A and B are shown apart, each in its own frame.
Chain A
Amino acid sequence: MSTTIEDTEPEALDKVIIRFAGDSGDGMQLAGNRFTDASAAFGNDLATFPSFPAEIRAPAGTLPGVSSFQVQIADFDILTAGDEPDVLVAMNPAALKSNLADLRPMGTIVINTEAFEERNLAKAGYTENPLTDGSLNAYKVIEVPMESLTKEAVKDTGVSGRDVLRSKNMFALGLMAWLYSRPLEPTVDWINAKFGRKPEVAEANIATLKAGYNFGFTTEATKNSAVTVKPAKLPPGEYTTISGNLSLAWGLIAGAKAANLPLFYGSYPITPASDILHELSRHKNFGVRTFQAEDEIAAISASIGAAFGGHLAVTGTSGPGLALKSEALSLAMMTELPLIVINVQRGGPSTGLPTKPEQSDLLFAMYGRHGESPLPIVAASSPSDAYESAIEAVRIALKYMTPVILLSDNSVATGSEPWRLPERDSLPDFRVTFATKPNSPDGEFMPYVRDPLTFARQWAVPGTPGLEHRIGGLEKEEVSGNVSYNSDNHQLMTDTRAWKVANIANDITPVAVDDPDGASTLVLGWGSTLPVIKAAVRRVRNEGHPIAHAHLRHLNPFPANLGEVLKSYDNVLIPELNTGQLIRLIRAEYLVDAVGLNKVSALPFKVTEIEAKLLEMI
């Protein structure tokens, strides 16, 4: 790539990683999201990683109160939000302190100097001011008196009091827009739409945004540092920028549409799953009923009731809530009703790390029920993949009359990426048919008569004359569904339920292996590690080593070809954000001596971590 640096022509980079960090009241998520959208509109590929404090009201200025948003933008298809930021925007000392270690050597720091006064320094645990003690000498520091510049920018707009400094995140955003040649229009449009009813607030935000941009344009401090990242060469298509909770919610709506059923969503608020509830509650015109229950047990129970009534029933939660749903999930399993249970995993156990990513509920999803209670498990591997995964979960639940666990996690749920949209009118059609007629020779309806191929029972909904029947949690006699304590029947029903789930292996896409060079080492992943594994694999290949990659969407049952795939490699690496859960399933199922790469440090993998492990193995 040839680049000429001129006064007017910004330097072209192929990628840049920017982290906005500040107090949770500083509006860093918003600044990051706006920067992301402006970059998306510009045609960059991108990936984001927001990080929030767990406590909403952690004391201002302290380390626990720091909120950050990392975005990587690139002119090629990138996969992750990046390992080390090139640029850190630090709105206060705590933000600097808790993020500096991640910054790449010689990276740039944009500092809001006015926040670096004694009290804030003390709150962040600094005894010396890092701006003056030489500790930042290894970095390129851009010092900006952001607060007085913001005050100056808004002085004619009519905002007063706390509203004045509130827009200082826009100053930071404007400055970054200058530094990376982002257009301002998308942000201006967004501000106008958002604050349409408060014109003075809109005006103040726009004035600050432009002030930040102009500050970059005019001051000594930033001279020659304006660079750009050119649009990426993404595959042709129509794109939007999407976060995983939204696309998952939309996937449920799409699944309901494909099934031609109304959607019922029962949920109790919990981070990071609540946004699914918020999103679905906005779309009542799609026939979506949302029920904010008194607890997670009620949420799943109500969903089971709705499923009995013929709705596409879904209940969503995060780890602690899944624990509460366990007993009812067995009921749904026993009554063989379709139900989607979403678990947006977060750091555990107990309340754990509510806002941090972890993949530590896989074994819980697999085994966290009393009795023999196998259930299909589908996992979303990226924000955009959550849409397809949700549709797949719906398909399985309805076709096989079974609850399905749909795993997401904090990275998928809150991260965002460009999503190549499915074409219009391309939704699959798996509309369901309810039973309308008795299904036994004596003219009765027998709820446990099964489809010979899928072993699914029929779905007969209340209101259908002649099909009145009772279901429940006591063991069912085959065919009739009457309560049965017969020992042979219990064996038969247990085997049948297990077989029904196992048989789904023949109805899911075989696992695809990306192995262009005939490698002997395979890296096998699941869920949100997809982008980072892909990036590591690409690096290893660029270094000249063949490496194969496969990623699982279906965790139970596994795709039918998985055993064969695993056995065709000498080494198998399984990276997971847990202490080794998929690896246990794989070893138990296939007797493959896979190697784990495990991490539970409240952060996603770095590309370099997986890369290093792969290089060590080959």
Chain B
Amino acid sequence: MTTIEYTRGDFQSDQEVRWCPGCGDYTILASVQKFMAASGIRKENAVFVSGIGCAARFPYYMATYGMHSIHGRAPAVATGLATARPDLSVWVVGGDGDMMSIGGNHLIHALRRNVNLKILMFNNQIYGLTKGQYSPTSEVGKTTKSSPMGSIDYPFNPMSLALGAEATFVARTLDMDPKHTGEMLEAAYAHKGSAFVEIYQNCNVFNDKAFIALTSKDDRDSNRIYLEHGKPIRFGQDMEKAVVMHNGEATIVDAAAVDETAILIHDQTNMSMAFALSRLSHSPTGPTPLGIFRSVDERGTYDDGVNAQLAKAKSTKGDGNIDDLIRSLGTWTVG
């Protein structure tokens, strides 16, 4: 197959992008289009499937195949597509409400099955499209249109949830860091199986500055903990902070106060470590890990499993013959 040289423009559809000016979705769209152009994926083989929400408008803006389905069901639609067509590169896009509220069931089942899907959850910690109700990732106490006295719902921790659902690839990135977003997309694409990528996304209309701790010039360097496989976890403006395990929990310490060897070396194949790191930040008001929490290659994908069974059945039983099948219970002849 000849490789085609694409530019970002090749992945831009002719539809006018209709998000609010300043919305984090624009940056993510650009990151994805850029990644696609560089990825080597042929345009006709990429499919973007989404649910409903601001984020879920995404497929209309990609010049690939796409389906804007119904609220919450994109992981299920994509599961069917990827199972039927393992030759395709199937991407799922949705918001925090879409994927963790109405579609939470489909998300966890897609993850545990390890369907070869790349799932991008744009987490703005709010329902954007319906104009600003709290979401299952909104912090307790949040005042919104539907919670005038503050939300009393305890939020999900998306990283912990994905890990608990047996996801084989779990990562987090940030709309305002396109370079890191690109790296995460690349790693997700390279992973065989479901890859869950949470992308913190600013909704400047209904939940502005939710991620300010990670984006403001003043705070971002002291709060972004970039995880890199095989490297000690250090962060801060001068790398003065570190993560250690203390009483079984990931804990932030002054790097100077601990022995160099006590600093946690990130191991993305270690589930317990991934989970401990996922607990470091809930709503990101302080130091927050970004990067690949978990990436393991130990399980086959669902779609491969299904198709391997088909191939096996064909090789042992031969191609099915319908005339024989309807006679398989035994027949008798009259006349």
**Residue ranges of A at the interface with B (Cβ–Cβ < 8 Å):** 37, 40-41, 43, 233-242, 246-247, 250, 253-254, 257, 262, 264, 266, 283-289, 291, 293-295, 297-298, 301-311, 313, 327-328, 331, 335, 387, 421-422, 424-425, 427, 461-474, 482-483
Residue in chain A with minimal CB distance to B318: A285
Residue in chain B with minimal CB distance to A247: B326
Q: Which residues of A contact B329 (CB under 8 A)?
A: 240-242, 246
User: Do the beta carbons of A468 and B63 come within 8 Å of each other?
Assistant: yes
Q: Which residues of A contact B82 (CB under 8 A)?
A: 305
User: Do the beta carbons of A301 and B84 come within 8 Å of each other?
Assistant: no
| Pairs across A and B, CB under 8 Å, 26 listed | A40-B332, A235-B334, A236-B334, A238-B331, A240-B330, A241-B329, A253-B322, A262-B84, A264-B84, A284-B312, A286-B319, A289-B83, A289-B306, A297-B76, A302-B77, A302-B81, A308-B47, A309-B85, A313-B80, A424-B323, A466-B44, A468-B44, A468-B63, A470-B59, A472-B59, A483-B60
Q: Does B3 belong to the interface (CB within 8 Å)?
A: no
Q: Which residues of A contact B331 (CB under 8 A)?
A: 238-240, 421
Residue in chain B with minimal CB distance to A460: B65
Known: A264-B80, A464-B44, A482-B15. A237 touches B333 (CB 8 A): yes
User: Do the beta carbons of A469 and B65 come within 8 Å of each other?
Assistant: yes
Residue in chain A with minimal CB distance to B303: A289
User: Do the beta carbons of B334 and A306 come within 8 Å of each other?
Assistant: no
User: Do the beta carbons of A287 and B310 come within 8 Å of each other?
Assistant: yes
User: Do the beta carbons of B335 and A306 come within 8 Å of each other?
Assistant: no
Known: A284-B309, A331-B70. A250 touches B322 (CB 8 A): yes
User: Do the beta carbons of B83 and A298 come within 8 Å of each other?
Assistant: no
User: Do the beta carbons of A295 and B105 come within 8 Å of each other?
Assistant: yes
Q: Which residues of B contact A295 (CB under 8 A)?
A: 105
User: Do the beta carbons of A470 and B65 come within 8 Å of each other?
Assistant: yes
Q: Does B282 belong to the interface (CB within 8 Å)?
A: no
Q: Which residues of A contact B67 (CB under 8 A)?
A: 305, 308, 335, 470-472
Q: Which residues of B contact A425 (CB under 8 A)?
A: 323
User: Measured between alpha carbons, how far is A294 from B63 in the docked complex, in Å?
Assistant: 31
User: Do the beta carbons of B59 and A287 come within 8 Å of each other?
Assistant: no
User: Measured between alpha carbons, how far is A461 from B42 in the docked complex, in Å?
Assistant: 14
Please give 17 more A-B residue pairs, beta carbons under 8 A apart, in addition to A294-B109, A301-B79, A472-B59.
A41-B330, A240-B326, A254-B326, A283-B320, A289-B84, A291-B79, A291-B83, A294-B76, A298-B73, A301-B69, A303-B80, A305-B82, A309-B88, A310-B84, A462-B47, A463-B44, A471-B67
Residue in chain B with minimal CB distance to A42: B332
Q: Which residues of A contact B109 (CB under 8 A)?
A: 293-294, 298
Q: Which of B290-329 contact A (CB under 8 A)?
A: 306-307, 309-310, 312-314, 316-320, 322-323, 325-327, 329
Known: A235-B335, A240-B330, A301-B76. A285 touches B81 (CB 8 A): no
Q: Which one, A235, A298, A311, A470, contacts B13 given CB within 8 A?
A: A470
User: Do the beta carbons of A237 and B60 come within 8 Å of each other?
Assistant: no
Closest 5 CB pairs of A and B: A236-B335, A472-B68, A302-B80, A305-B80, A286-B320
Q: Which residues of B contact A469 (CB under 8 A)?
A: 65-66
Shortest CB–CB separation between residue B132 and chain A, in angstroms?
21
Q: Does B64 belong to the interface (CB within 8 Å)?
A: yes
Q: Which one, B64, B105, B307, B334, contacts A239 given CB within 8 A?
A: B334
Q: Which residues of A contact B65 (CB under 8 A)?
A: 308, 462, 468-470
Q: Which residues of A contact B52 (CB under 8 A)?
A: 473
Q: Which one, A286, A291, A387, A463, contacts B80 given CB within 8 A?
A: A291
User: Do the beta carbons of A298 and B313 come within 8 Å of each other?
Assistant: no
User: Do the beta carbons of A283 and B325 come within 8 Å of each other?
Assistant: yes
Query: What sequence of 0s and 1s flags, for each residue 30-61 of chain B, a beta carbon within 8 Å of any chain A beta carbon?
Result: 00000000000011110101001000000110
User: Do the beta carbons of B325 and A250 come within 8 Å of each other?
Assistant: yes
Q: Which residues of A contact B307 (CB under 8 A)?
A: 289
Q: Does B78 belong to the interface (CB within 8 Å)?
A: yes
Residue in chain B with minimal CB distance to A299: B76
Residue in chain A with minimal CB distance to B59: A470
User: Do the beta carbons of A421 and B322 come within 8 Å of each other?
Assistant: no
Residue in chain B with minimal CB distance to A424: B323
Q: Which residues of A contact B62 (CB under 8 A)?
A: 470
User: Measured between alpha carbons, how far is A465 from B2 in the docked complex, in Å?
Assistant: 13
Residue in chain A with minimal CB distance to B335: A236
Residue in chain B with minimal CB distance to A264: B84
Residue in chain B with minimal CB distance to A472: B68
User: Do the beta carbons of A293 and B83 come within 8 Å of each other?
Assistant: no
Q: Which one, A387, A421, A465, A483, contacts B42 given CB within 8 A?
A: A465
User: Do the beta carbons of A309 and B333 come within 8 Å of each other?
Assistant: no
Shortest CB–CB separation between residue B61 and chain A, in angstroms?
9
User: Do the beta carbons of B73 and A297 come within 8 Å of each other?
Assistant: yes
User: Do the beta carbons of A468 and B43 come within 8 Å of each other?
Assistant: yes
User: Measured between alpha carbons, how far is A466 from B42 in the docked complex, in Å?
Assistant: 11
Q: Which residues of B contact A253 (CB under 8 A)?
A: 320, 322, 325
User: Do the beta carbons of B68 and A238 come within 8 Å of each other?
Assistant: no
User: Measured between alpha carbons, how far is A335 from B65 in the docked complex, in Å?
Assistant: 13
User: Measured between alpha carbons, how far is A304 from B64 in the docked complex, in Å?
Assistant: 18
Q: Which residues of B contact A307 (CB under 8 A)?
A: 80
Shortest CB–CB separation between residue B183 and chain A, in angstroms?
26
User: Measured between alpha carbons, how far is A22 from B191 in the docked complex, in Å?
Assistant: 56
Q: Which residues of B contact A308 (CB under 8 A)?
A: 47, 65, 67, 77, 81
User: Do the beta carbons of A463 and B87 come within 8 Å of each other?
Assistant: yes
Q: Which residues of A contact B83 (CB under 8 A)?
A: 264, 289, 291, 302, 306
Known: A238-B333, A301-B76. A254 touches B322 (CB 8 A): yes
Shortest CB–CB separation between residue B29 and chain A, in angstroms?
14
Residue of A234, A284, A288 contacting most chain B CB atoms (<10 Å) = A284
Q: Which residues of A contact B309 (CB under 8 A)?
A: 284
Q: Does B106 belong to the interface (CB within 8 Å)?
A: yes
User: Measured between alpha carbons, how far is A425 from B324 in the docked complex, in Å?
Assistant: 11
Q: Which residues of B contact A482 (CB under 8 A)?
A: 15
Shortest CB–CB separation between residue B67 and chain A, in angstroms?
6
User: Measured between alpha carbons, how far is A256 from B45 in the docked complex, in Å?
Assistant: 24
User: Measured between alpha carbons, how far is A304 from B79 in the docked complex, in Å?
Assistant: 10
User: Do the beta carbons of A305 and B79 come within 8 Å of each other?
Assistant: yes
Known: A236-B335, A304-B69, A469-B65. A462 touches B322 (CB 8 A): no
Q: Which residues of A contact B325 (CB under 8 A)?
A: 250, 253, 283, 286
Q: Which residues of A contact B13 (CB under 8 A)?
A: 470
User: Measured between alpha carbons, how far is A247 from B329 in the docked complex, in Å?
Assistant: 11
Q: Which residues of A contact B63 (CB under 8 A)?
A: 468
Shortest CB–CB separation between residue A240 and chain B, in angstroms?
5
Q: Which one, A239, A254, A291, A293, contacts B332 given CB within 8 A?
A: A239
Known: A328-B70, A470-B59. A304 touches B77 (CB 8 A): yes
Q: Which residues of B contact A288 (CB under 8 A)?
A: 310
Shortest CB–CB separation between residue B250 and chain A, in angstroms?
31
